[in-house]
Structure 1
């Protein structure tokens, strides 16, 4: 049964999706805790919020690898680890124009996004994340 906490975590994922699809590195970076750890789609480990912002800015910049990519996230699981700590698994897919909004055939952006979110001062922030390609 979904909880208010689940709704807040779903909002966090929607905000992440919106930042991705609008190429807004600042908005995406603001979703992270002060000392995040993130493994990106390419397997690179980033341990610092400023370094993460540099990486996000690069991929979303004009000519960057994600500039023209749009994705959707579907939450598949939320695990409550503690009252203010949760793991969210969301399936990432490429968004396309069409009846179902999904890419036909093999999806080059298919992945499982894991976000470990921590609530501090009433705000959920991503503390640890990993974007694992699905092959």
Structure 2
């Protein structure tokens, strides 16, 4: 009987682990779209519920905030002003597991409809967002995030292919 149970565990174990990581990968791949959906609703609170309580987040402008309170305050402000008419979209997503409950999620994005501080329309732009996501109580949450504006490729990086392409 012990031999049978051991054999059963050895045979089923990898498939159960694969199913779990498949579910986790699907959840992590969906995280950027959930972020974008909240952004497109111009919902700072909707963004915040995707984060850990002590989230660390750096904006494209280098503004570093720690904790959900500052994260929500900041995003509610910008989504009610210069990004109130913006539309954001995911271009591509890449997930890398760093452990059973820790993963990096990179995604490329493009945004249109934003304005400058004077209310003038600004051209569409694209960039890369990186999340460090941690699984807590069965849910993947953003522990750390950093957003980066895209820029033209310089000559020293011209031969290096990124895992995700930016919108030209």
Structure 2 residue ranges without an equivalent (≥5)? 1-20, 114-122, 152-168
TM-score, scaled to structure 1: 0.84
Structure showing greater relative contact order (alpha-carbon pairs closer than 8 Å, 6 or more residues apart): 1
Q: Which has a greater percent of strand?
A: 1
Q: Which has a greater percent of helix?
A: 2
Which residue is equivalent to 1:44?
Answer: 63
SS in 1 for 2:60: coil
Does the 8 A contact of 1:71 with 1:95 survive in 2?
yes
Q: What pairs with 1:1-135 in structure 2 (closer than 5 Å)?
A: 3-61=22-80, 64-94=81-111, 108-135=124-151
> How far 1:131 sits from its partner (Å)?
0.5
Q: Which has the larger radius of gyration?
A: 2
> How far 1:95 sits from its partner (Å)?
5.4
Does the 8 A contact of 1:72 with 1:92 survive in 2?
yes
Structure 1 residue ranges without an equivalent (≥5)? 97-106
Whole-Å separation in 2 of the counterparts to 1:108 and 1:46: 25
CA RMSD in angstroms, aligned pairs only: 1.9
Q: Which runs of 4+ in 1 moved over 4 A?
A: none
Does the 8 A contact of 2:112 with 2:125 survive in 1?
no
How far does the alpha carbon of each residue in 1:6-41 deviate from its partner, in whole angstroms, 9 at most, with x for none? 110122211101000110111111100010000012
Which residue is equivalent to 2:10?
Answer: none
